[in-house]
């Protein structure tokens, strides 16, 4: 006799065991997250089998833990062919039961930090709490410090008072040749920051930050790598806006090309950031400061088309959601970068790079050609320092020609 779960999933037998009463709600939660019917059927069937096994092993509902899921998978793999997604499916089931209050919250095994990890963690907390540095800076600095401490102390105790200038110099000499020039400079900046922190704590009495070698990194050695205006038009025209994914990608690319937003600013854009009445967009920049930008009719129509006929139903407040379940926002800026990369590949466009930042460069270069000042460009792009915008002066060939010194005795 067949048994229906949530009026959608049909099982050959009526589910039994402690989880059986929750299968309807579990199926509904998977539907709400946007999973496909075939996947939902697999997960509900897996949950029903797990529930039957729990009954046979006499495990009560409140006694279910993630350990039981691991034991069941071992039992299952001895009798059935392993199937991809079973482990993650049972983890999702356990999480669902916890949210429902059916079982106790799972205790996460506490990872014992090594001496190096403890020291690096303390430094990370100092950067975040005492210095209030941007998250991106902390993410870039801490791995370098972890490598430095591992290089000096290995798996033993970290005794910062034993550090000397030779340790610092040797580490930089070994690491710098392996890194890009800018990464090497970032590494030395992280080292100086950490050694100043160690001196501030009193663990180091000498000014070891002064011993960090200087890595050459001349300012503005290259020109911005901007995608051409013709390539941008070709790329936008190649997007199939008849599909939900196409409407999303088109709106994302327009935000990059017309407003010069960073990939992270697009990825983390919320519905509340759009003021449709006045045509304004509120964007959270790199330092967390918010800036208001005009929402042009072209960009506004593209976003509206996606929201009305492309965005999946979701409780998320993010504007742009993943096309695959679960229906949620991007976890990082990499999601927007992936849209750019795949769009360029599908269109067969050989752009200067595969990243999203080239649209930002292109907008600045176009504004410069139309007579905008560097100050106006910096204001639109959200630059906090004029030096950041000065690199675009290198693409203003017309202005640069006026500075060129005539060649002695003319040109042959």
Tell how far CA 400 is from the center of its chain.
38
Q: Is 286 a known active-site residue?
A: yes
Q: Which of 68, 311, 357, 361 is flagged as catalytic?
A: 357
Distance separating alpha carbons of residues 127 and 135, to the nearest angstrom: 9
Give me the phi and psi of 5, to 5 degrees please. Answer: -110, 120
CB atoms within 10 A of CB 409: 6
Is 361 labeled as catalytic in the residue annotation? no
118, 286, 318, 390: which one is catalytic?
286
Three-state SS string across the chain, please? CCEEECCCEEECCCCCCCCHHHHHHHHHHHHHCCCCHHHHHHHHHHHHHHHHHHHHCCCCHHHCCHHHHHHHHHHHHHHCCCCCCHHHHHHHHHHHHHHCCCCCCCCCCCCCCCHHHHHHHHHHHHHHHHCCCCHHHHHHHHHHHHHHHHHHHCCCCCCHHHCCHHHHHHHHHHHHHHCCHHHHHHHHHHHHHHHHHHHHHCCCCCCHHHHCCCCCCCCCCCCCCCCCHHHHHHHHHHCCCCCHHHHHHHHHHHHHHHHCCCHHHHHCCEHHHEECCCCEEEEECCCCCEEEEECCHHHHHHHHHHHHHCCCCCCCCECCECCCCCCCECCCCHHHHHHHHHHHHHHCCCCCCCCCHHHHHHHHHHHHHCCCCHHHHHHHHCCCCHHHHHHHHHHCHHHHHCCCCCCCCCCC
Catalytic residue (choose from 262, 311, 322, 361): 262
Can 342 be counted among the known catalytic residues?
Answer: no
CA dist., res. 335 & res. 138, Å (int): 21
Which is catalytic among the residues 76, 360, 390, 412? 360
**Rounded Cα gap, residues 382 and 389, in angstroms:** 10
Is 357 catalytic? The answer is yes
From the candidates 128, 392, 401, 412, which is the catalytic residue?
392
List C-alpha distances in Å: 66 to 63, 72, 87, 92, 294: 10, 10, 10, 10, 50
Q: Write out the catalytic residue numbers.
A: 262, 286, 357, 360, 383, 392
């Amino acid at each position: 006799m067949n048994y229906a779960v949530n009026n959608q999933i049909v099982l050959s037998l009526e589910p039994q065991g402690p989880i059986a009463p929750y299968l309807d709600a579990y199926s509904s939660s998977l539907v709400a997250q946007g999973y496909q019917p075939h996947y939902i059927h697999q997960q509900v069937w897996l949950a029903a089998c797990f529930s039957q096994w729990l009954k046979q092993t006499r495990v009560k509902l409140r006694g279910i833990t993630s350990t039981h899921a691991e034991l069941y998978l071992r039992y299952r793999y001895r009798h059935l062919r392993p199937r991809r997604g079973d482990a993650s499916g049972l983890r999702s089931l356990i999480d669902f039961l916890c949210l429902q209050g059916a079982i106790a919250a799972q205790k996460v095994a506490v990872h014992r930090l090594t001496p190096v990890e403890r020291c690096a963690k303390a430094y990370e907390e100092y950067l975040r709490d005492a210095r209030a540095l941007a998250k991106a800076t902390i993410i870039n600095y801490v791995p370098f410090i972890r490598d430095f401490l591992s290089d000096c102390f290995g798996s033993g105790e970290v005794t910062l008072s034993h550090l000397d200038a030779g340790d610092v110099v040797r580490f930089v000499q070994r690491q710098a040749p392996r890194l890009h020039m800018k990464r090497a400079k970032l590494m030395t900046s992280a080292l100086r920051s950490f050694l100043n922190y160690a001196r501030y704590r009193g663990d180091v009495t000498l000014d070891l930050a002064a011993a960090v070698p200087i890595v050459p990194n001349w300012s503005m050695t290259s020109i911005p790598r901007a995608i051409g205006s013709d390539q941008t038009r070709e790329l936008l025209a190649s997007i199939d806006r008849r599909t939900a994914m196409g409407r999303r990608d088109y709106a994302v690319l327009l935000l990059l090309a017309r407003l010069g937003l960073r990939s992270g600013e697009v990825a983390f854009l919320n519905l509340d950031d759009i003021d449709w009445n006045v045509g304004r967009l509120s964007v959270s920049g790199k330092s967390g400061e918010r800036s208001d930008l005009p929402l042009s009719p072209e960009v506004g129509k593209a976003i509206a088309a996606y929201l009305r006929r492309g965005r999946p139903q979701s409780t998320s407040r993010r504007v742009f959601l993943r096309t695959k379940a679960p229906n949620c926002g991007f976890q990082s800026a990499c999601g927007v970068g992936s849209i750019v990369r795949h769009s360029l590949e599908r269109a067969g466009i050989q752009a200067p790079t595969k990243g999203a930042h080239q649209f930002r460069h292109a907008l600045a270069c176009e504004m410069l050609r139309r007579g905008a000042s560097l100050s106006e460009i910096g204001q639109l792009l959200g630059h906090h320092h004029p030096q950041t915008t000065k690199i675009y002066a290198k693409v203003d060939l017309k202005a640069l020609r006026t500075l060129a010194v005539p060649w002695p005795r003319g040109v042959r």
